[in-house]
Amino acid sequence: MTPASLAQSLGFDVIDAGGLTNARYLEPLAGMNIYLGYGAGMGTSIAPTWIHK
């Protein structure tokens, strides 16, 4: 089972972030999420959400 199919089976909408070259954009996003959760006191149940129409 791929990570995408696992996430889909758990009810998440999967978005392909592209190849490994895009990791440079995802890593700062993870850092921001960690800061907001712990540094800003928002807790551990937060996550980024992308809205599309």
Domain boundaries, the chain: 3-39
Name the residue with tokens 């998440």.
Answer: 12
Q: What is the pLDDT of residues 1-40, one digit of tens each?
A: 899 999 999 999 998 889 999 999 999 999 999 999 999 9
Q: Residue 40 and residue 13: Cα distance in Å, rounded?
A: 27
At 50 the pLDDT is 83
Name the residue with tokens 């800061």.
Answer: 35
At 53 the pLDDT is 80
Least confident among 17-21, 39-43, 46-50? 46-50
